[in-house]
Amino acid sequence: MTRPPSVSVVVPTRDRPELLRAALAAILAQEYPGSIEAVVVFDQSTPDESLTGLSGPDRAVRVIGNGRAPGLAGARNSGTLAAEGELIAFCDDDDEWLPGKLAAQVDALAADPAAEFVCCGIRVSYDGNTVDRVLDKDRITLDDLLRDRLTELHPSTFLIRATALRDGFGLVDEEIPGSYAEDYEFLLRAARSAPLINLPTPSVLVRWHKRSYFAQRWDTISEALQWLLRRYPEFATQPAGAARVAGQIAFAQAASGDRRGAVRWAGRTLRSNPREPRAYLALAVAGRVVRADAVLRTLHKRGRGI
């Protein structure tokens, strides 16, 4: 009988010791007959070597520091380059894999030798509310992702062939300002190489916090999204998708207090798609009709973001 492929799970972490241990416990508890190693990458924080004590038969925990660019992109790449598995998965330090996640994804890759990347649905937890987000599609193309970010495709759901990362579409891009939207850019680049497999099952618990590392970094968000539009001229082929990103920039400009910039980007949004709601939300925030944090709280309770 052929042994199942070995899996390395890259877990970037920063100052979340209790949540990190919960994430690791869920990874190591997966009912998967192959070997699993969790590569915990401490980003801008002191590595906790005691985590290696969680290792067991066919289950290993390795602890390293982020030796590349500070932030999620560099941390994920540090872990990917240190990983020894045939397949590489990502899991954020505040998320948890649900039972059956890994085995189902490995089976999906095995069933399609041409596939490189598989995702699944998520269960979003925010402020006491839980919402399942799944896509009713078994293949995700580049055009799909240009039209919509598809936030169901969360980094903690990613499982990828190691060869695709090292010799194919490549590592996570470390040039994106502040590492914001690096997961979206990564998906776009992966989908350029081959359609992504998607399993329409919520197999990862994703915690959205009232305060995340990006909660008040609106200038960085705006800069990163403008970088993304320049990097992917293909957005010009999908006006609704271009309007969505422009609307996010408009909202970020409004939330940061740049009313003139918000109005300019909202105008660009509406020229591409007059029905894009982010433009109107940005104008409402710029006009001080509503606060940006109030908009985000309402969206997050529904398992959605801006």
Length of the chain: 306
Please write the tens of the pLDDT for every residue from 92-143: 999 999 999 999 999 999 999 999 999 999 999 988 889 999 999 999 999 9
**pTM confidence score:** 0.91
Q: What CATH fold (topology level) applies to the domain 7-207?
A: Spore Coat Polysaccharide Biosynthesis Protein SpsA; Chain A (3.90.550)
What pLDDT, on a 0 to 100 scale, did the predictor assign at position 216? 53
Q: Give how far the C-alpha of residue 256 lies from the chain's centroid of Cα atoms, to the nearest Å.
A: 23
Question: Which residues make Cβ contacts (< 8 Å) with residue 162, sequence separation at least 6?
Answer: 8, 80, 83, 85, 86, 87, 88
Indicate the Cα dihedral angle 127, 252, 249, 213, nearest 10°: -60
**What pLDDT digit, counting tens, does each position of 129-183 carry?**
899 999 999 999 999 999 999 999 999 999 999 999 999 999 999 999 888 899 9
Where along the chain do its domains lie?
Answer: 7-207, 218-301
Is the predicted pLDDT of residue 266 greater than 80, yes or no?
Answer: yes
Residues 6+ apart with CB under 8 A from 235: 146, 229, 241, 242, 245
The pLDDT value given to residue 212: 47
Structure confidence at residue 214 (pLDDT): 46
Q: Are 54 and 131 in contact (CB under 8 A)?
A: no
